[in-house]
Amino acid sequence: MSPGERRGGARLARLRTLLPRDRGELLALAATFGPSLGAAIILEVAFARILPLIPAGLVIGCALFLLSTRWLRTRRKPPPPPRAAPLHLPLRVDPLIGRDAEVREVIGRARERGLVVVRGPAGIGTSAVAVAAGWALTPDTAAQCYADLRGQDREEPEDTGSVVDRVLRTLGRPLGSAGGPEGAAGEVVAALGDTGRVLLLDNVDRWSQVAWLPRHVPGSWIVVAGDPRGPVPGDVAVVQVGPLRAQDGVELLRSQIPAERVEADPGATARLADLFLRRPAIAVGIARWLAENPRVPIAALVKDLEQGSHDHTLQVLLAMQLRRVRPAARRLLALLARSPLAELGTDTAAALAGGAGRDVERMMEELGRHGLVERVRESRVRVVEAARALVTPPDDWEAAWQRLLERFADRADFFAERLPAEEARAWFGVEDTALLQILKARGPAARAAGPLWRIADALEVWFLLEQRHKERGEAARALGHAAKALGEPDVQATAELRLCLVAHALGQPRMAQEHLDGAAGSRDGAESWPAQIHLARATTLLATGDEFTAVEASLVRYGQALPGGDATGQATRWINMAVLQIRRGQVRGFEGTTDGAHRLYADALGTLVQALGIARQAGDAHAEAHARELMAVVYWYLGRARDALAGWETAVLLYTRAGDTIGLARCQVHQAGALPADRRREAARLLRSALTRLPPTGVSTALARLRLASAEPRNARAHREKGLAALAPWDGIAEPAQVTEIRRRLTDPLA
């Protein structure tokens, strides 16, 4: 048994109990802090103009931290920005026959407009034109940035969010702080402005994938290549690439085979050009075949091609090429075509084939020479679509797929243990879409369970580290479907709990409650729940009302269920108890009991001091950041403004170090609320920065909009409407007092 299998088996055993017993090997589900991770948090903040009997300030909800693992808990260095993928432009097609005019037009439009779309159907040569123009714009490879936007799913192109991540990673920009397409456009401007760089995005399938890109970045150029579906706006320059002229097709053929052979039968060559040489992809395939079959006259090839459907010409050519491929390479092609992953590198292809990497590399080169696969980013291969129907599914597919699963699971384990080191981030940045596609694969076999659960755990660690909650949700849903198919109810509960935490992170309390019910449903009673579910229940109760007695009971049970010696878990418990005291103080303030509110705030401060000491002892920068943030809130309530501002500044530094962009955004909302009226511009800047990091819904988002309505009176109405939209998840369900108050103030401009 390999080390990876032993690790996977041990984790699977603990996963089935939902509660890890060995603190050193906590699963990615543990409800504790992580120094380099984000957190699924409900931070309920109040308002700048608080009710008269409550000091101006902010109020908290429950902090639900999760995903602390041994490998992440021991690393306290700030996570480095994602390394820019070493992807300069592909090599130019030389010579690029018949495309001089199109290349010149792309160059001119790019220099004139900044963003240009090179448009044309597959196989017509849009990529070749775009690449040639990119080299002309920026011959320095250090100034070239290239991303192939074809994803791992052959049936579904990458969505806008995935494209945003790909582009930012290619440019070496931070993902978590982008805050959606609007913020990502700003990151692109920051990365490209006045640098003389060119960004080429290849194989775009839908305009919506790239519609967020800035239209003009001074001192740089953006080239989009493909045949994007959907209307392209009129302010975007488009260069249409059409079929080659017949004479250009002949010239292309002449560049690949001896001229005398082309001229031996002018009539056959002319007919070949008219029918088949106008599409570069087909012309190159014909030239390749003729070069490998020097004794076959062009007239014979024309006759063979005319017997088939014109739409399947490339498939006919590739079928001819396939006859020349060795059996081992043909088997590899069949395995690659059967795989749900559209792209594989040498290492993973070797696992699929069950062979040595050097042998598989030679097979891949052989398939490439015959045009059956193409080289894509990161030294991977992708089966040419027309070649897929030429091979039958291999008899040993199940064994091959199991080998691939285990290879990916071992690599995911290896690099998850090294996060947030740059090499680990670089690996996940390349492979996370493949891991997610594997997890989504239908009909998993029973023996696939162990590798699938390990892959799911690694993805949860990675996506939470990157604050990519959408992908976290996708991975959790895929885990749940796989667990249901394999009859693993405890793993289903794990998936439901992760979805609960994702819903909290995105400000969706109703969804959080539904998934919490799903996670708890597999247990007979609350006494059998693991610690994580108790903490999730406390958070959900605070998100949907003010049932403080029930919250306190859940937190007590959480503490009782924690494994011995879990200092980070204990820090979590103390912080959540402080949150409960602050929330109770807030309600007392609403009721006009100022003295009672102040006593609760003072109690919360003492609780947070304890939590801070435990967090420091555990070496958990994230727990320390949250404790500092909450202490600053309490200071503000108690009228200690200077201490509050200092506390938020410290929390900002700690959240930045931990890579928690949402925690950073909350502190910016706090800081903006503390600024006096004559510093409206500074407050607006902080709030706008926070909104790029916050989810579209949630209390913090609504509060930021409420404060922006005051900081930017001209846009007050729009900010109020967006603030109310941020509270929409509470429509029709119970809500805490602070949600009700923020809703009232958003509705009433005079409030």
Which SS3 state, helix, strand or coil, does residue 239 take?
strand
Share of residues in the chain with pLDDT > 70 (%) = 86
Residues 499/480, Cβ–Cβ less than 8 Å: yes
User: And the tokens for 102?
Assistant: 């199109």
The answer to whether residue 33 scores a pLDDT higher than 60 is: no
pLDDT at residue 179 in the model: 59
DSSP state letters, 4-63: HHHHHHHHHHHHHHSS-S-GGG--TT-SS--TT---EE------SS--TTS-S------E
The pLDDT value given to residue 139 = 93
User: Which segment of 353-367, 428-442, 488-502, 736-750 scores lowest on mean pLDDT?
Assistant: 736-750
Report the candidate in 281, 283, 217, 201 with the shortest Cα–Cα distance to residue 246: 283
CATH number of 100-240: 3.40.50
The greatest distance separating any two alpha carbons of the chain, rounded to the nearest whole angstrom, comes to: 103
Closest CA to 621 of 667, 582, 660: 660
Tokens standing for residue 97:
């026959």
Q: Tell me the domain boundaries of the chain.
A: 100-240, 246-322
Query: Residue 9: is its pLDDT beyond 60?
Result: no
Q: Where are the beta strands (DSSP E) in 185-257?
A: 198-206, 221-229, 237-240
Give the whole-angstrom CA distance, residue 502 versus residue 86: 32
* Main-chain phi, psi angles of 48, to 5 degrees: -65, -45
Q: Give the number of other Cβ atoms within 10 Å of residue 302's Cβ.
A: 20
- pLDDT digit string (tens) for 369-418? 888 988 876 678 899 888 888 888 888 999 999 999 999 999 999 999 88
533, pLDDT greater than 90:
no
pTM of the model: 0.78
pLDDT at 647 over 90: yes
The pLDDT confidence band at residue 524, using thresholds 50, 70 and 90, is low
End-to-end CA distance of the chain: 67
pLDDT at 32 over 90: no
Quick one: residue 733, left, alpha or beta (phi over 0 = left, psi -120 to 50 = alpha)?
A: beta
Of the ranges 38-52, 190-204, 326-340, which one carries the lowest mean pLDDT score? 38-52
Between 704 and 10, name the one with better pLDDT.
704
Q: What is the pLDDT of residues 675-704, one digit of tens each?
A: 888 899 999 999 998 998 888 888 899 999
Please state, as a whole number, how many other Cβ atoms lie within 10 Å of the Cβ of residue 354. 14
Phi-psi label, residue 443: left if phi above 0, alpha if psi -120 to 50, beta otherwise: left
Look at 50-64, 606-620, 644-658, 728-742 and tell me which has the smallest mean pLDDT: 50-64
The kind and range of the H/E element at 380 are strand 380-383
For residues 131 and 90, the answer to whether their CB atoms sit within 8 Å is: yes
List of residues 6+ apart from 378 with CB closer than 8 A: 85, 87, 345, 430
- Contact present, 629 and 666 (Cβ < 8 Å): yes
More confident residue, 290 or 28: 290
Q: What integer is the mean pLDDT of 622-640?
A: 91
Residue 551 CA to residue 537 CA, distance in Å, equals 8
- Confidence at 642, pLDDT banded by 50, 70, 90: very high
3-state secondary structure of 375: strand
Q: How many CB atoms lie within 10 A of CB 678?
A: 7
